[in-house]
C-alpha cells in the first residue's frame, strides 16, 4: 500500500458553508492560488449547481490552476453532473465528485427512497460522470451511521460503475476514532474491488474528533483525507488541514505516511483564509494559533532558551512562522526576563537587574502580558530614574463650528522652554502637530485609542497612542478629564520613551 496521503482541500466548498464565510470570486481565486502554493493535491472549488456565483467560481478556479486537481461537487443527479462538468471542463485536471446518502435516517427521512433506489442512483450518477472524465469520486453521505453491509454494497457498485475514489464521510461528526478506524478496515476487508479505488475520508468536528478520526482512518488504510484550512466548515467545522499534515510530518515514526504539502506555506494560508472569511483563529489553535509557539511559564522559557526541543515538537519555521515567542507575564522567570533585556539592549548590572525583575513581577501581577514598552518604561521610571526629556507645561486649543482647529503648546525640552502652534483637522490633531513641531521630532502616529477610566460625564479619559520614528515603534499613555489634554500627555509620554530607547542604542545610560 502506498504511504502517500492525498490532501483534498474543501475550504472553498465546505469551508465556505461556515455561517458568514462566503467569498466572492476574486477571493476564491486568491485562496485557490495559495492552496496550489501549499501543494494540496485536490481543491474542491464549489458546488456548481448551487448558484450562478458558485458555478462561476468553480469555472474560474478551473481555468487558473495548472498543477492541482479541481473538483466540483454534485448530487447523484444528471443535471448536477452536467452542470459540474460545464464548470470543470477547462481544468487541466478535473474531478467530478458526486454523492448520495446511505444511512437509514437519510435514505428514509431525507431522500424518502428505498435502499435499492439509492444504490441505483449512485450507479447511474457515477456512470454519467465517468462519461465526462475518468477522475470520478463517489461519497456515501453519512457513511459512519450507515448499515455496514449496505454501505459495502453501494461502494462495490460505485467502483464497478467507474469511481476511482471512494469517500467515507463522518458527515455529522458522530464517530469515535477506534470505531471509525474499524469502519475503514471493514470496508477494505469486505469490498472485493476496493483495491481499484483510493479510499478517502471526510470528517466533521461536532465532537471535536475530526482530526483524530481522520488519522485513525489513515492508520486503517485510507489514503485521501478531506479537510479545510483552519478547520472551518459546516457547524463545528471540518478536520483541520494544518493539524492533519503536521501530525503526519511530526509523527512519521508512528503513522508511517507522508504528504506532499509545503508546510512552510501553512501559516500564510491560515492568515489568508482568516482575513477573507473574517473567522478569527483562536489563540490556542494548534499549529497556527497566536499561542502555538508562545511560552510564558518560567520553567518552559528556561528550557526553550537552552534547547528549543525541550518544549517544541516542531519548529515555527516549518509552518511558516518566523520564530517562537517568549511571552513575559507573571509566570516568567529571571532567565527569560534577562534575555528580553538583552534583546532590548538594556544593559543593567546585577543589582539593577534584580530591582527591575522585582518591579516587573509587581507589574505582571496587575496585567496579563508585559510588553517591551512596559519594560522600557519600568526601567526608566524605577531603575534609571530617567528624567523626562520632554515636559508638557501647558496646552491651549480652540475648535468648533466654522473654526479651523488650532493649538498652542509650551514644553520644556532639556531644561529649555519651547512654544509652538499648529492648525489641524481637529483639536487633537492640532495639539499633536504642535508638540511634534516644538520637539522637532518626526514621529508618525500609527494608532490612537480613547477609553473611559471612570464612569459619568466627569470621567477620567485614557488615551493610548502608538508612534513610529526611525524604525522604532513606541506606545505612550496619558490620562485627563479632558481627552485633548490626555492625548497631549500620551504623545509626550511616547516621545520620552523614544528618547530613552535612542540613548540605550547609543550605549548611554541616563544618569542616576
Residue 200 shares a structural domain with residue 162:
yes
Residue 192 lies in a domain: yes
Report the domain count for the chain.
Answer: 3
Count Cβ neighbours within 10 Å for each residue of 235-254 and write b for 16 or more, e otherwise. eebbbbbbbbbbbbbeeeee
512 residues of the chain, pLDDT tens digit each? 789 999 999 999 998 887 667 788 988 999 999 999 999 999 999 999 999 989 999 999 999 999 999 999 999 999 999 999 999 999 999 999 999 999 999 999 999 999 999 999 999 999 999 999 999 999 999 999 999 999 999 999 999 999 999 999 999 999 999 999 999 999 999 999 999 999 999 999 999 999 999 999 999 999 999 999 999 999 999 999 999 999 999 999 999 999 999 999 999 899 889 878 878 888 789 888 867 776 656 666 667 567 767 767 788 888 887 765 555 666 777 777 887 777 666 777 888 888 878 877 776 776 566 666 567 666 655 565 556 789 999 999 999 988 999 999 999 998 899 999 999 999 999 999 999 999 999 999 999 988 764 455 545 577 888 899 988 888 787 777 789 998 998 899 889 888 877 765 554 443 33
Residue 248 shares a structural domain with residue 371:
no
Identify the pLDDT of residue 42: 98
Positive or negative, the CA dihedral 273, 276, 282, 284 is positive
Residue 394: which CATH number? Answer: 3.30.160.270
Residue 55 shares a structural domain with residue 154:
yes
Residue 360 shares a structural domain with residue 489:
no
Outline where DSSP puts E strands in 318-442.
Answer: 325-326, 390-400, 403-413, 416-423
Domain limits for position 411:
390-505
- The pTM of this model reads 0.68
Provide the 3-class DSSP secondary structure of residue 66: coil
Identify the pLDDT of residue 125: 98
Residue 134 lies in a domain: yes
Identify the pLDDT of residue 471: 84
Separation of alpha carbons 219 and 150, rounded Å: 24
Residue 282 lies in a domain: no
Q: Where are the alpha helices (DSSP H) in 162-240?
A: 177-190, 210-219
Of 321, 351, 382, which marks where a domain is finished? 382
Separation of alpha carbons 278 and 396, rounded Å: 43
Residue 301 shares a structural domain with residue 423:
no
Residues 480/461, Cβ–Cβ less than 8 Å: yes
Identify the pLDDT of residue 454: 47
Residue 436 shares a structural domain with residue 408:
yes
Residue 35 lies in a domain: yes
Residue 72: which CATH number? Answer: 3.20.20.70
Residue 458 shares a structural domain with residue 425:
yes
Residue 298 shares a structural domain with residue 268:
no
Residue 327 shares a structural domain with residue 402:
no
Identify the pLDDT of residue 252: 94
Separation of alpha carbons 311 and 319, rounded Å: 17
Provide the 3-class DSSP secondary structure of residue 203: strand
Backbone angles phi, psi at 166, to 5 degrees: -115, 120
Residue 511 lies in a domain: no
Instruction: Give Cβ neighbours of residue 160 (< 8 Å, ≥ 6 apart).
Output: 123, 193
- CB < 8 Å & 24+ apart, contacts of 246-250: 246/286, 246/287, 246/314, 246/318, 246/319, 247/211, 247/215, 248/5, 248/215, 248/218, 249/314, 249/318, 250/313, 250/314
Residue 182 shares a structural domain with residue 303:
no
Cα 143–Cα 148–Cα 154 angle in degrees, nearest 5:
70
Residue 187 lies in a domain: yes
Cell of 168: 467515507
Which residues make beta-bridge pairs with 468? 444, 473
Identify the pLDDT of residue 324: 59
Residue 409 shares a structural domain with residue 266:
no
Residue 512 lies in a domain: no
CA distances for 357 relative to 287, 328, 332, 334, 373, angstroms: 32, 11, 10, 7, 15
Residue 469 lies in a domain: yes
| Residue (of 156, 214, 207, 160) closest to 184 by Cα position | 214
Residue 150 shares a structural domain with residue 59:
yes
Identify the pLDDT of residue 511: 35
Amino acid at each position: 500500500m502506498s504511504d502517500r496521503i492525498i490532501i483534498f482541500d474543501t475550504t472553498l466548498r465546505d469551508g465556505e458553508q461556515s455561517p458568514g464565510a462566503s467569498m466572492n470570486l476574486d477571493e476564491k481565486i486568491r485562496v485557490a492560488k495559495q492552496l496550489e502554493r501549499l501543494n494540496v493535491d485536490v481543491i474542491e472549488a464549489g458546488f456548481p449547481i448551487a448558484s450562478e456565483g458558485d458555478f462561476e467560481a468553480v469555472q474560474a478556479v478551473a481555468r487558473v490552476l495548472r498543477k492541482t486537481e479541481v473538483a466540483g461537487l454534485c448530487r447523484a443527479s444528471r443535471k448536477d453532473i452536467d452542470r459540474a462538468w460545464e464548470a470543470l471542463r477547462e481544468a487541466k485536471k478535473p474531478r467530478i465528485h458526486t454523492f448520495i446518502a446511505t444511512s437509514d435516517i437519510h435514505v428514509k427521512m431525507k431522500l424518502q427512497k428505498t435502499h435499492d433506489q439509492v444504490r441505483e442512483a449512485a450507479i447511474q450518477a457515477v456512470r454519467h460522470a465517468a462519461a465526462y472524465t475518468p477522475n470520478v469520486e463517489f461519497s456515501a453521505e453519512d457513511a459512519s451511521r450507515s448499515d455496514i453491509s449496505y454501505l459495502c454494497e453501494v461502494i462495490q457498485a460505485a467502483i464497478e460503475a467507474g469511481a476511482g475514489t471512494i469517500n467515507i464521510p463522518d458527515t455529522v461528526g458522530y464517530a469515535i476514532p477506534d470505531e471509525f478506524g474499524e469502519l475503514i478496515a471493514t470496508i477494505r476487508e469486505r469490498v472485493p474491488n476496493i483495491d481499484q479505488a483510493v479510499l478517502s475520508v471526510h470528517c466533521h468536528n461536532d465532537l471535536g474528533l475530526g482530526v483524530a478520526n481522520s488519522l485513525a482512518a489513515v492508520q486503517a488504510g485510507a489514503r485521501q483525507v478531506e479537510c479545510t484550512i483552519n478547520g472551518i466548515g459546516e457547524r463545528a467545522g471540518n478536520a483541520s488541514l494544518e493539524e492533519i499534515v503536521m501530525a503526519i510530518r511530526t509523527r512519521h515514526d508512528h503513522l508511517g505516511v507522508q504528504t506532499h504539502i509545503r508546510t512552510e506555506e501553512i501559516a500564510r494560508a491560515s492568515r489568508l483564509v482568516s482575513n477573507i472569511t473574517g473567522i478569527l483563529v483562536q489563540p490556542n489553535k494548534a499549529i497556527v494559533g497566536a499561542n502555538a509557539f508562545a511560552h510564558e511559564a518560567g520553567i518552559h522559557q528556561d528550557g526553550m532558551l537552552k534547547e528549543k526541543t525541550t518544549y517544541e515538537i516542531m519548529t515555527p519555521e516549518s509552518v511558516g512562522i518566523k520564530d517562537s515567542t517568549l511571552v513575559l507575564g507573571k509566570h516568567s522567570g529571571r532567565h527569560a526576563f534577562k534575555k528580553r533585556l538583552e534583546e532590548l539592549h538594556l544593559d543593567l548590572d546585577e543589582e539593577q537587574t534584580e530591582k527591575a525583575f522585582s518591579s516587573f513581577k509587581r507589574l505582571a501581577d496587575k496585567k496579563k502580558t508585559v510588553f517591551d514598552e512596559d519594560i522600557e518604561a519600568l526601567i526608566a521610571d524605577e531603575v534609571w530614574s530617567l528624567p523626562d526629556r520632554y515636559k508638557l507645561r501647558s496646552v491651549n486649543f480652540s475648535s468648533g463650528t466654522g473654526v479651523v482647529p488650532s493649538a498652542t503648546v509650551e514644553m520644556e525640552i532639556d531644561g529649555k522652554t519651547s512654544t509652538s502652534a499648529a492648525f489641524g483637522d481637529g483639536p487633537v490633531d492640532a495639539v499633536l502637530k504642535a508638540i511634534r513641531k516644538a520637539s522637532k521630532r518626526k514621529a508618525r502616529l500609527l494608532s490612537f485609542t480613547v477609553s473611559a477610566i471612570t464612569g459619568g460625564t466627569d470621567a477620567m479619559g485614557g488615551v493610548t497612542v502608538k508612534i513610529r520614528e526611525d524604525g522604532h515603534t513606541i506606545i505612550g499613555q496619558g490620562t485627563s478629564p479632558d481627552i485633548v489634554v490626555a492625548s497631549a500627555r500620551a504623545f509626550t509620554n511616547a516621545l520620552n520613551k523614544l528618547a530613552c530607547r535612542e540613548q540605550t542604542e547609543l550605549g548611554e545610560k541616563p544618569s542616576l
